[in-house]
Amino acid sequence: MKFFKLILVTYLLCWAGPGLPEQVYHTKDSFLAMAFPGGQPNTGVVWLTSQRKLDAEELLGHSPSELRIRYWSLNGRSAWILDKIGKEQPITIGVIVEDAKVEGVEILVYRESRGGEVRHDFFKKQFEGAQLIDNIDLDRNIDGISGATLSVNAVTNVTKWALYLHKQILE
């Protein structure tokens, strides 16, 4: 009987796998309500031209596979919900941009086993007011988090990409 229980426990541990369930911190609707309090934003898309894909490689480290990216906007403010791989899993990140500056960064869904500290205010507040310089880099250094380098890089790169995309919808 003990042998059967041992086999059953081993099977269940293997079947469950090493992954952790995703952590949902905001839904799309709750993020958009935060981005546009008291207003209903318009939706739009940015088509990824050849040049925009080249620029994305510089900002994200890879060319996006999408043909277009959806955004929401109202009165010069835009909100972007974008995914970026951390170490192995996508992190869903929301970025709010107004006047070519970051108004806020939120982690909507976190799927990695490590690095979830990027969801905390002490990290996210570093992005407030950040701007893009020469379409390449932020105007400030973002402090890393020990053990969360890939997640920090993902949030930073998505923030740069959202600032770039915001500029594209204004042109």
Under 8 Å CB-to-CB from 142, ≥6 apart: which residues? 126, 127, 152, 156
Instruction: Count how many domains the chain has.
Output: 1
Q: Is residue 29 part of a domain?
A: yes
Q: Is the pLDDT of residue 15 over 60?
A: no
Q: Is residue 5 part of a domain?
A: no
pLDDT of residue 3: 44
17 confidence band (pLDDT: 50, 70, 90):
very low
Q: Is residue 122 part of a domain?
A: yes
pLDDT of residue 16: 41
Q: Is residue 16 part of a domain?
A: no
Q: Is residue 8 part of a domain?
A: no
Share of the chain above pLDDT 70, in %: 88
2 confidence band (pLDDT: 50, 70, 90):
low
pLDDT of residue 10: 43
| Coil/strand/helix, residue 116 | helix
Q: Is residue 105 part of a domain?
A: yes
Q: Copy the structure tokens of residue 21.
A: 């369930």
pLDDT of residue 1: 57
Nearest to 20 by CA among 153, 116, 145: 116
Q: Is residue 9 part of a domain?
A: no
pLDDT of residue 171: 81
pLDDT of residue 136: 87
Backbone φ, ψ for residue 46 (5° rounding): -110, 120
139 confidence band (pLDDT: 50, 70, 90):
very high
Q: Is residue 37 part of a domain?
A: yes
Structural domain boundaries, residue 93: 21-170
Mean pLDDT of 11-21: 48
107-125 tens-digit pLDDT: 999 999 999 999 999 999 9
- Note the residue count of the chain: 171
Please give the mean pLDDT across all residues of the chain.
89
Q: Which helix (H) or strand (E) holds 78?
A: strand 77-85
Question: Between 5 and 24, where is the model more confident?
Answer: 24
Q: Is the pLDDT of residue 9 over 60?
A: no
